[in-house]
Structure 1
Amino acid sequence: MASWRFEAIGTHWEVESTETLTEADRGAVSAEVERFDREWSRFRPDSEVTRLGTAGGAFASTDAGPMLDAYRALSAATDGAVNPLVADSLAALGYDAEYSLVPGEPVRSPADWEQRVSWTRSEVVAEAPAFLDVGALGKGRLVDLVLSALSGVPGDLVVDAGGDIRVRGAGVRIGLEHPYDPTKAIGVVEVRDGALCASAVNRRAWGSGLHHVLDARTGAPVQTWAATWALAPDAMTADAVATALFFPGGPEIAADWGVHWVRMSTDGRVQRSPGCPAELFLTGKTRPSAPN
C-alpha cells in the first residue's frame, strides 16, 4: 500500500491506498480539508464559526444539515450533555483558540442551543453571537469527506485522522489503544468497508483532570469513562457515538443507529455492545453490556 502523511486540523493524517495518489488526488483532499477548516474551525480567526461566535449572522455549508441534525439527536439522547455550543466551556477551561491551557472556572453551555442556532441542509443561522464547536463529530465528518474526494481512486483505501479511521475495501485489523498506556491495546477489531472512531481522556489533556470531553450541562470534564470506540458504516456516525458513550444515553443511541462499541471506565472496567466483533484482551475485567 502507498502512504501519504500530512498534518491538518490539529492532528496527524495518513491515507493508505492500493494505487499511489496523484497530485490531483492530493489537491482534491487538500482543498476539501481547507474548506472544512475555513468554515468550522474555532481555532481560526478567519473561520465562519469564529465570525458566527463574534457577530452572529449566517454562513453556507454543505455540512450544516448532516452535522447539526446529528447534534440534535445526540443532545436528546444524552439529556443535553452533548451540545455544539460547548466552545465557550472549552475556552473557559483553557482549551481556547490561543491554546492558552490556563484553566478557569467551568462554564455551562446554553441548554437552549436549538433556539439560538437554526439550520437547513446548507446553512447555519444565529441571530445573536453563538460559538459552535463541532468536535463531537466534526473530525469523523471530514474523514468521510476525504474518502469521498478520493472516490475515483481505484483499489483499497484507508483514511486515518489521528485514530478516526475509515476503510474502503479489504479488512484492516486495528488495535484499541489503552487510554493509560499507549504502548498497549485492550483489544483489536477488523474494519472492512466501514469506520472506527475513538475518543479518550488522555488525548487533548492539559492538566489534572482536564481534557476535551466536557459535559455541556456543567462545563466540567467527564470523570466516569476513560475511552470509547465505535464501529459504524461512516466515520461521522462512529465519531458521534464515540462521544455519546461518555454519557448515559450513549448506548441507547448507538443501538438506535446500529453502531457497535467498546468503552473503558476510569477504574478499568470494559463494556461492549451485544454482538460487538472486537476481540478484547482484558478478559478479567470485561463484561458484555446491553444499553442501559
Structure 2
Amino acid sequence: MTASVQWPVWSATARLLVTEPAALPEARVLTERLLAAIDLACSRFRPDSELARHPAGAPAPVSPLLAELVRTALSAAEASDGAVDPTVGGAMAALGYDRDIAEIRVDDRDLPVTVVPGWQHVMLTGTTLTIPHGITLDLGATAKAYAAHRCATDIAVKLRTGVLVNLGGDIATAGPAPHGGWQILVQDKENDEPCTISLPAGAAITTSSTVRRTWRRGGRLLHHVLDPATGLPAARTWRSVSVVADRCVDANTLSTATLVRGPAMVRAHGVPARLVAANGSISTLGGWP
C-alpha cells in the first residue's frame, strides 16, 4: 500500500509517493524544505538567489549545496560532450526565458544571435566558484533531477520507507519498491500514446520534452531545450525522450542530450529509452521497458 500527495512547484508538479503511509507528512516536509533550499541556492529567476548574487570574474566561496549543484551541472556537460551545457543561461534569457515560464508574454522581435560560452570556462574547486564576466549559468537541466534524487534518498534514509519523487518528469526512487515495482505512466502530452513500465527499487526515469515549457518569440514557438552549438532551441526531431538509469541526473543528461544531438549517446550507454518523434512515431532502445 502506498500513499501520495502532489503540489505545484517550479512551474511543474511535485508528486511524492511512500510505501509507509504514516511517513507521508514528514516526507513532504523534507521535500519542500530541500526544494526551497535548492531554489534559493540556484534559481535564475530570483535576484536574491546565491547564484544570482555571486560575483562575476573572480573566485569566491559558495555554499556546499550550490557547489554540489554546479558540480553536477559541469559533470553532466562533460559526460554529454557539451550537449547539456549550463552556460546557456544568457542565450535562454535573450530568447525571452528570463522569468517564470508562466509569466512570459508573446514577443514579436526577431530571434537574437547568441553564443553559448561553454562550460569549460566555469571553474569550481571545492567550494570556490569562478564564473567569468558575461556568463549566466542555468542549472535547471540538472538541478531538478538532482533534487528528485536527493529528496528520495534523504526520505528513504531518514524515514525508513520506500519513496518515489516526481518533479515534473524527473523521477527518482529509493528504499524498497511496492510489490511489482513502481508503476510509471510514460506519456508526455495527454494525446500521446501512453506506456506503463515497472520501475525497480532505486532506479530513475526522466522525460525531456520539446513540447512543454514553450513560448512565442519572433513568430516562432520556442522551447526550453537549447542546442549550445546554436544558442537556439534544439530542432524538434523528437517530441520527447524518456530514459531509465540508476541515477536521475544521468537519466536527465541522456534524455536532454538526445533531444539536442540524437540517440547516439543513449545507444552508447545501452540504457532503456523511448523516443517519440515529431510525427508521433515511437522508437525504443536498450531493451525498453
Give TM-score scaled by structure 1 length. 0.82
Q: Does the Cα contact within 8 Å between 1:66 and 1:121 map onto a contact in 2?
A: no
Task: Give the 5 Å matches for 1:40-119.
Answer: 40-52=42-54, 58=60, 59-60=62-63, 61-74=67-80, 76=81, 80-97=82-99, 99-103=103-107, 104=109, 105-115=111-121, 117-119=122-124
Instruction: Tell me the percent identity.
Output: 28
Quick check: 1:64–1:123 contact (8 Å CA) kept in 2? no
Structure 2 gap ranges (5+): none
Alignment equivalent of 1:142, drawn from 147, 154, 168: 147
Deviates more, 1:24-33 or 1:259-268: 24-33
- The amino acid across from 1:216 in the alignment is P
Query: Is 1:276 aligned with 2:288?
Result: yes
CA pair 145-122 structure 1, distance change in 2 beyond 3 A: farther
Report the CA distance between 1:166 and its aligned residue: 1.7
Q: Aligned pair 1:201/2:201, yes or no?
A: no
Partner of 2:170: 164
Q: Match for 2:10: what amino acid?
A: I
Equivalent-residue separation in structure 2 for 1:246 and 1:53 (angstroms): 33
Is residue 245 of structure 1 aligned with residue 245 of structure 2? no
Choose from 219, 223, 247 the match for 1:234. Answer: 247
Amino acid at match of 1:100: I
Q: Once superposed, what is the RMSD of the aligned Cα atoms?
A: 2.5
After superposition, give the CA deviation of every residue in 1:163-212 in whole Å (9 maximum; x if it has no partner). Answer: 22123323122222154xx1443422211121110011221012342111
Contact 1:65 1:120 in 2 (8 A): no
* More displaced stretch, 91-100 vs 228-237: 91-100
- Structure 1 residue matching 2:249: 3-state secondary structure: helix
Q: 1:63 aligns to what SS in structure 2?
A: helix
Q: Does 1:130 align with 2:161?
A: no
Q: 1-side partners of 2:96 and 2:227: how far apart?
A: 16
Partner deviation per Cα, 1:236-280 (whole Å, 9 max, x = no partner): 1111111011133x5343344442211112123322213222xxx
SS in 1 for 2:243: strand
* Alpha-carbon distance, 1:225 to partner: 1.4
Unaligned runs of 5+ in 1: 278-292
1:229 is aligned with what amino acid?
S
Structure-2 change in CA distance of 1:129 and 1:92 (3 Å): closer
Equivalences, count: 269
- Cα offsets for 1:36-75 (capped at 9, x unmatched): 111111011111222248676532323332331122222x
Distance 1:43 1:164, change over 3 A: same
Aligned partner of 1:49: which letter?
L
* Structure with the higher fraction of residues in strand conformation: 1
Q: Determine if contact 1:172/1:190 at 8 Å carries over to the other structure.
A: yes
- The 2-side partners of 1:120 and 1:7 are apart by 35
- Judge conservation of contact 2:205–2:243 (CA < 8 Å) in 1: yes
Distance 1:57 1:107, change over 3 A: farther
Which string of whole-angstrom CA distances, capped at 9 and with x for unpartnered residues, describes residues 127-173 of structure 1? 42421112222211110111122122233211111222123323122
Quote how far apart the aligned CAs of 1:123 are: 4.2
- Whole-Å separation in 2 of the counterparts to 1:25 and 1:268: 37
Are 2:90 and 2:116, in contact at CA under 8 Å, matched by a contact in 1?
Answer: no
Q: Is the 8 A contact 2:3 2:24 kept in 1?
A: no
CA distance in 1, matches of 2:11, 2:124: 27
2:83·2:228 contact (CA, 8 Å) conserved in 1? Answer: yes
**TM-score (norm. length: structure 2):** 0.82
- The answer for the alignment partner of 2:227 in structure 1 is 215
Query: Does structure 2 retain, via aligned residues, the 8 Å contact 1:195–1:233?
Result: yes
